[in-house]
Amino acid sequence: MMYGTTPTTLKARCLTLRKLLPPGVKELTSGQAAGRLLINGKTTTREHFGFLDGLSNPDVEGVPGDDGPGKPRGGAAKPQDVGNPDAEGRFRKIPVGEFILGYPGEGGEVAPMALPHLLTQDATYLVFRKLEQEVPRFHRYLEEQAKSFTRALPGGLPAGVSAQEFLAAKMMGRWPNGSSLIKYPDKPGNDTGNAFGYADDPAGARCPLGAHVRRANPRDSLGFGGKTMSRHRLIRRGIPYGEYLEPGKQDGKRRGIIFLAFNSGFDQFEFVQQAWINFGDDFEQGNDTDPIAGSREAGRLMIPGDEATGRRPFICFDMPRFVQTRGGDYFFVPSLTGLRLLASGRVEVS
């Protein structure tokens, strides 16, 4: 993986490294370019479906620059990462052993480490996925459902909010600008903070039980003070690839996200993917998969009604698949000490 602040510096660095390749080493395929989306001439942090990305990552013990003690769930004016829910309605930082090898995790135990320990100490594991987004299909589905969804709203659409935007927010669990449905259930707010829980929304009146961000990080919604989800956190990054496509247009080009997740064991990612994204039983969704990232041919999403506003329930039927996996693998990521050990020739890796 090569990173650069500009395309020119990135290209120059890649060229330098290619010249360093020893004889007989060849590249199998050309590189996959990826970077922040350029929309209307401006560099953004949005992904191809139009949502702000990279808003939430775990708050980890001992990491310089992370937030201070857990923030109350009432919210803060600026975005911040949060840890796991505690028994007092706050958030606590997550032990570093959930992400880095050689340290205690949530249960106080150290994740299994390969020998020699000098190689695996301070290392981590990387999940890599190339996820292609079916952008025209996503916007077309929203357009098809818009009129029916509007009829479920007793007072009509909120001012300045389209039916497509409202429905997309219910599917994602956040508004396109990143504000949470828990804090702002009827129209976008100006707060992209993460200090909120789902325990006070047990039926999903504000944020549907099957919404993407609620399934990927259930917080306190599964009971037992959040203990049922505290072992399944990921440090995640998403890097868009391909050009931005405006809603309603088609160009036949491919676009999506390079998904990266770091954890101290691949079972953490596999659990989230299999038990929460592709199986909805923990969220009272039966076999219904995640509305954004789920693997399905024709799914559905139940958007519960809201007695407080009189909004009627709405079901999204025949929901096609919006994300296709085009490649991926699992990697061991050594520490700087581990890299020096490998470079020294003192260990052989097979």
Token pair, residue 331, equals 């990697």
- CA distances to 28, 141, 259, 340 from 326, rounded to whole Å, are 17, 22, 11, 33
Per-residue pLDDT of the chain (350 residues; tens, 9 = 90+): 888 888 899 999 999 988 888 888 888 777 888 999 999 999 999 999 999 998 888 889 988 766 544 444 444 444 567 888 876 778 889 999 999 999 999 889 999 998 888 899 999 999 999 999 999 999 999 999 999 999 988 888 988 999 999 999 999 999 999 999 999 999 999 988 888 989 899 999 999 999 999 999 998 888 666 677 777 889 999 999 999 999 989 999 999 999 999 999 999 999 999 999 999 888 888 889 999 999 987 789 999 999 888 889 999 999 999 999 999 999 999 999 999 998 888 877 66
Hey, where are the domains in the chain? 32-344
For residue 112, give every residue at least 6 positions away whose Cβ sits within 8 Å of its Cβ, in sequence order, or none. Answer: 265
292 contacts 323 by C-beta, under 8 angstroms: yes
Strand partners for 314? 303
How far is residue 13's CA from residue 134's CA, in Å, rounded to a whole number? 32
pTM comes to: 0.89
DSSP H/E element including 308: none
DSSP code for 273: I
Angle between helices 163-172 and 135-151 (to 10 degrees): 110
How far is residue 260's CA from residue 195's CA, in Å, rounded to a whole number? 23
Question: Which 3 state secondary structure label does DSSP give 42?
Answer: strand
How far is residue 96's CA from residue 63's CA, in Å, rounded to a whole number? 8
In whole angstroms, how large is the CA radius of gyration of the chain? Answer: 22
Question: Which 3 state secondary structure label does DSSP give 135?
Answer: helix
For residue 29, give every residue at least 6 positions away whose Cβ sits within 8 Å of its Cβ, in sequence order, or none. Answer: none
CA dihedral 171, 145, 325, 242 (to 10 degrees): -100
262 contacts 126 by C-beta, under 8 angstroms: yes
Work out the end-to-end distance of the chain between its first and last CA atoms, rounded to an integer number of angstroms: 22
